[in-house]
Chains A and B, each alone.
Chain A
Amino acid sequence: MRLKLIPSETNLDFFKYSKYTLWGSLGAMGLSIVLLLVVGLNFGIDFQGGTVIRTQSTITVDVGEYRDRVSGLGLGDISITEVFDPTFADDQNVALVRIKVQSGDEAVTKETLELVQNALKGVDPNMQFPLVESVGPKVSGELIQKAVLAVLAAILLVLIYIWFRFEWQFSLGAVAALVHDVILTLGIFSIFQIKFDLAIIAALLTIVGYSLNDTVVVFDRVRENLRKFKKRKLIDVMNLSINGTLSRTVMTSVTTLLALITLIIFGGDVIRGFVFAMTWGVVVGTYSSVFIAGLILYKLGVKRDWSKNEDVEATKFTSKRN
């Protein structure tokens, strides 16, 4: 007996509710953009510059007391947040103290750092500082540029690759799905004000990769079925292809989510934001490869006669027989 998440024979019409899914997606994207413009992202020091000190003490964190200790130092706005995590020991009380960029291009100076650390030691003389990170404004500006460039380069290269391997309609469908995933991920980061730093860019690009993976598998089947069923309506071919790959789509999503959820629970607070972004990305990526990429492909229409290419494709991409 096998565990089956999806019945072996499905015949769902994925375009029946396309009006709702399309408007739903567009609405969610619109909302995300509004959120990004109005609320914005909670940029980490990688992108904004500044200094973060992680404190660890055996005494329970009292954010008010921490603030009293450091507010008189003349360092501008200082934010203090307590960190909770199931992996912490009982007497492990962790907080993050964030200081704004002070002056010039430099990261935090030795004097400023010692000033803050000594003030915090007033709360607990045995307080430890297991993580100190400081980024000067010059570097953070460059990091933003690089990050934006990385995401755009990824999307562009993918566009070109799929265009090459399939047709331009496929390419546009895939990229629309990617843009959808990236915008919705930015939106969720804006809603929950999760710290947005360099690692999140890596997560975004991984989402791009994952979502694409899914889209390509569906497209590959569409192409195959288009060759097989030259006379059937495009919508039927699309549905047939999505149904055919549905079991795989769900299986892969589930195994990936199993791994990611394990990381969320046991991986510690340092990478939680990063893993959260990827988990969310897997969910929206799976959705978008069917409901965005598929729909756009359907709406754009596609060349029906693939017979010319067939010989070339067959020699190129089926494995050799020995």
Chain B
Amino acid sequence: MLNIPAWQRLIIITLCLGGIYLAFPNLFYSTVEKHNDAVLLIERGQVSEIEVSEDLDGWPTWLPSYLVNLGLDLRGGAHLLAEVQLSEVYADRIDAWWPRIRDELRKNRNIVGSIRRQQSPPDQLHIRIENSEAIGQAVKIVEELASPIVNIANIASRDIQVSSQDDILIIELSEEEKSATDNRTMEQSLEIIRRRVDEVGTREPIIQRQGANRIIIQVPGIGSANELKALIGTTARLTFHHVVRTTSSRSSNNSGLEITYPSIENPDLYYTLERTAVVSGDELTDAQPDFDENGRPAVSFRFNPTGARKFGDYTAENIGLPFAIVLDEEVISAPVIRSHIPGGSGIITGSFTVEESTNLAVLLRAGALPAEMIFLEERTVGPDLGQDSIDAGKIACIIALMAVMVFMALSYGLFGIFANIALTINLFLIFGVLSALGATLTLPGIAGIVLTIGMAVDANVLVFERIREELKSSKGPSRAIELGYEKALSAIIDANLTTLIVAIILFTLGSGPVRGFSVTLGIGIITSVFTAIFVTRLLIIFWFSKSRPRKLEV
């Protein structure tokens, strides 16, 4: 027992040194962080090395630069839990079927007679046919249009489902198509949010899907959850419409082909527009903040080739007429077309501030969100409060460490000092593992570390108490140490495995700060068992083989 083979010693020492190597950049957190930011900016090609040389040189490149991520509650920033309104998309999708189905049914006018679209729930299409006795055939005709969904589990599934009630055809998306649509909507939303957040260039944002229809968004360093909402929450659907007339009230009599939107600039002004957009924001390739000829903030944009052609044709045919630029059901502006615009680029003017024009450009570039989002949970932490928490955590950590160390040394003498060395190594190991995993440290996480300081010595206490007992039955020092480790092992393993079970449950079921706590608790348990069993034993063996004491006092 007192002989650890050389290769095992080597592994133990290597692990300890590795932990210290990975952990020590955290002692110089802000310097290393500046260095890492500078490296990242250079990689992205946003700055040259000379511009950031001061930050870059603050930390030598050959040293490790892993850092523990600080959670929002320590760094400050905003957290949002958004729910994507998935069913909104069904309406658009089913609506898109109408022209095809209409054309197909008209071709079969001799069978079904004339057809008419009816009022219906938004995710269904209701069509009344003249010859109600032909409803069965009508169902078949429409079913012919459906295409199979490629699906390993159920090959027979199709994208739409057709049923009938009296003389009305009811068409809706099939369950399989709905779930496929849901997945696409979620992926698209995630991608767009990611792009919008990245455009602002904050550090390490977290954008994660949670469950079927939710997205977690955490952005460190942003001022408030409202700012974050403004950035990601806007659907940013940009369309260009033909203006039919302007009115002073919302409730004008529109035919189905027209819509009325308010003006963003003038609360008493409403525009009645053609429902079908001339061209939409989907066809934008670029948008940049800019200034108009009067020096007011504006957004310049460029269309892709098809968008440019539509835009060019329209402007050529409608010189002298106003056309409306609509963002999320509001008319930003309705400039008069002065000349044919062939190149597919243009400028949106309105009463913007510089900040607003920058934001709008970001939103337009990233694309429109496929569906609206509702925010179920939000948290904003100011940076000062985060710093206060870090400072408090640091002080608590240091004082707790000192108190426990003094207590251990007083209780166990030299062996207590061995345990203290192991405890210090344990702290380095925790930070090393956290840094290497890129785990996030939260305020409860710090509490977890402080708790670990208190509990980590437990395994050593178990061993030392056992050695004391063995010494009482007057065995030699070497034998007592050996038996002490051997007999305490099962208690150590059982006691720590049960706590590890708890940490794992916390990790699986918890979220946010609680998860951060479970990570430090779990890592702390593993490292403390390692240091208590192996590191202190190695220290004791080194000491024992040097001094060969006749009598042992623990």
Contact = CB atoms under 8 A, between A and B. Distances in A.
A, B from the same assembly:
yes
Interface of A: 2-5, 8, 54, 87, 104-108, 110, 113-114, 128-136, 138-139, 146-147, 149-150, 153-154, 157-158, 161-162, 165, 198-199, 201-202, 205-206, 208-210, 212-214, 216-217, 220-221, 224, 244-245, 247-248, 251-252, 254-260, 262-263, 265-268, 270-271, 274-275, 278, 317-319, 321-322
Contact of A153 (B389, B465, B505): B505
16 contacts: A106-B375, A110-B229, A133-B380, A134-B378, A138-B376, A199-B514, A202-B444, A202-B517, A209-B521, A213-B458, A248-B462, A252-B458, A259-B403, A262-B399, A319-B486, A322-B3
A206 B378 CA distance: 26
Of listed B374, B379, B494, B502, residue having the most chain A CB within 10 A: B502
A262 B455 CA distance: 14
Contact of A3 (B225, B407, B485): B407
B444 A199 contact: yes
A161 B506 contact: no
B377 A107 contact: yes
Nearest to A156: B505
Nearest to A137: B376
Contact of A208 (B444, B490, B502, B553): B502
Interface string B390-419: 001101100110011001101111000000
Nearest to B404: A255
Given A213-B499, A266-B399, A317 B378 contact: no
A2 to B, nearest CB: 6
A225 B441 CA distance: 43
A21 B377 CA distance: 45
B411 A87 contact: no
Interface in B231-287: none
Nearest to B2: A322
B457 interface: yes
Contacts of B491: 216-217, 220-221
A266 B410 CA distance: 24
B contacts with A: majority SS: helix
A95 B385 CA distance: 13
A209 B498 contact: yes
Contact of B400 (A128, A139, A259, A317): A259
Contacts of A208: 502
A114 B225 CA distance: 12
B471 to A, nearest CB: 10
B393 A248 contact: no
Contacts of A114: 226
A131 B494 contact: no
Contacts of B408: 255
B180 interface: no
Given A2-B410, A205-B506, A322-B3, A130 B377 contact: no
A3 B447 CA distance: 28
B247 to A, nearest CB: 27
Contacts of A263: 396, 400, 447, 450
Contacts of A254: 407
A165 B513 CA distance: 32
Nearest to A313: B490
Most buried by B among A2, A254, A258, A274: A258
Interface in B371-388: 374-382, 384-385, 388
B392 A259 contact: no
B186 to A, nearest CB: 18
Nearest to B485: A319
Interface string B1-22: 1011100000000000000000
Interface in B485-533: 485-487, 489-491, 493-499, 501-503, 505-506, 509-514, 517-518, 521
B505 A108 contact: no
Contacts of A87: 388, 392
Given A106-B374, A154-B502, A254-B407, 17 more contacts: A132-B379, A138-B376, A199-B517, A202-B506, A205-B506, A212-B502, A244-B469, A247-B465, A252-B457, A255-B455, A259-B450, A266-B392, A274-B444, A275-B447, A318-B487, A319-B486, A322-B1
Contacts of A128: 382, 384
B443 interface: yes
B521 A139 contact: no
B5 A318 contact: no
A251 B409 CA distance: 12
B1 A266 contact: no
B490 A258 contact: no
Contacts of A199: 444, 513-514, 517
Contact of B461 (A108, A251, A274): A251
Interface string B187-209: 00000000000000000000000
B501 A161 contact: yes
B443 A146 contact: no
A195 B153 CA distance: 49
Nearest to B412: A2
A255 B444 CA distance: 19
A262 B403 contact: yes
A97 B333 CA distance: 41
